[in-house]
Amino acid sequence: MKFIVAVLAGLFGANSALAADLPAPVYTKAPVYVDPGYNWTGFYLGGNLGYSWGRSSDTSSFTNGAGTSLSTSIGSSNLDGIVGGGQAGYNWQMQSWVWGLEGDIQGTGERGSRDINCATGVCTPSTVTTTTRTAPGFFAAAPPTITTTTITPGLAIPATLTQKIDWFGTVRARGGVLVTPQILFYATGGLAYGQVNSSETISGSAFSSSETRVGYTVGGGIEGAIGGNWTAKLEYLFVDLGRTSGSFATTIPASGGGTLASNYSSHVTDNVLRFGVNYNFR
């Protein structure tokens, strides 16, 4: 028994001496995590909803069968309403800069109207009435005849021009700077196109016409990563669809001959403020 204890004591003492000769363990901290930031490069798809303040600056006229202008009216109407649609695009990130291309298509409820009435005696022919009667019998000789001519001005023509933007779309370049890895400020601009519907009620009769116009758009916005592959944006666009024009022929007799026609020429612009979300396929 004494032998076993002596052996164990000797082994323990040897191990202690050996441990004393080993270097002390070195403890190192785990490396600090560095956020790689949001990667903006890639294709994205999303939707948007907002409100638009449109405007139609219009010159309208009434003409007769010979094309002579009888009445001209210059005015404007507000084409306001809700807009909503979808967008798709592609981004390229270069350090703190992001460049891209985006296309969108929007349906709208924008519409407005204005009156372009033609005043009494202007657009429709006046009526001339001649009345002949015999003078009273107190004349000694044969009583003379008396002729009276009455001119009644032509009727006024009430008319209302209503215009609406049925839909529009854009194809734009985008470019901006990252103020943080997740927040992008950008400017945008490019091609705009859309359908403008013009309808007019003239003395109770209704007429309508639609035209697809091409113009331009410029604007800007802010977009930020909100989690996962999702981003959200607030965007403003100015849209100019150029000038739309047309003519509505009526069966109303016109002053100067022929029938009356109503003509319009309208410059249509739009101010769009919308909120959108995108899913980035990266």
Residue ranges of domains in the chain, CATH in brackets: 43-117+158-281 (2.40.160.20)
What pLDDT sits at residue 32? 41
Q: For residue 67, what are the β-bridge partners? A: none
How many whole angstroms separate alpha carbon 9 and alpha carbon 250? 124
What pLDDT sits at residue 5? 41
For residue 271, count other CB atoms closer than 10 A to its CB.
Answer: 15
Q: Are 262 and 246 spatial neighbours (Cβ–Cβ below 8 Å)?
A: no
How many whole angstroms separate alpha carbon 109 and alpha carbon 53? 11
Q: Please name the amino acid found at residue 198.
A: S
What pLDDT sits at residue 127? 80
Q: Are 149 and 110 spatial neighbours (Cβ–Cβ below 8 Å)?
A: no
* Low-confidence spans in the chain with pLDDT less than 50: 1-12, 14-20, 22, 32-35
For residue 176, count other CB atoms closer than 10 A to its CB.
Answer: 22
Give the 3-state DSSP-derived string for the chain, with helices as H, strands as E and coil as C.
CHHHHHHHHHHHHHHHHHHHHCCCCCCCCCCCCCCCCCCCCEEEEEEEEEEEEEEEEEEEEEECCCCCEEEEEEEEEEEEEEEEEEEEEEEEEECCEEEEEEEEEEEEEEEEEEECCECCCCCCCCEEEEEEEECCCCCCCCCCEEEEEEEECCCCECEEEEEEEEEEEEEEEEEEEEEECCEEEEEEEEEEEEEEEEEEEECCEEEEEEEEEEEEEEEEEEEEEEECCEEEEEEEEEEEEEEEEEEEEEEEECCCCCEEEEEEEEEEEEEEEEEEEEEEEC
What pLDDT sits at residue 17? 44
User: pTM here?
Assistant: 0.80
CA atoms within 13 A on the CB side of 26: 2
Q: Tell me: the pLDDT tens digits for 3-48?
A: 444 433 444 354 444 444 545 555 556 554 334 568 999 999 999 9
How many whole angstroms separate alpha carbon 247 and alpha carbon 243? 14
What pLDDT sits at residue 9? 43
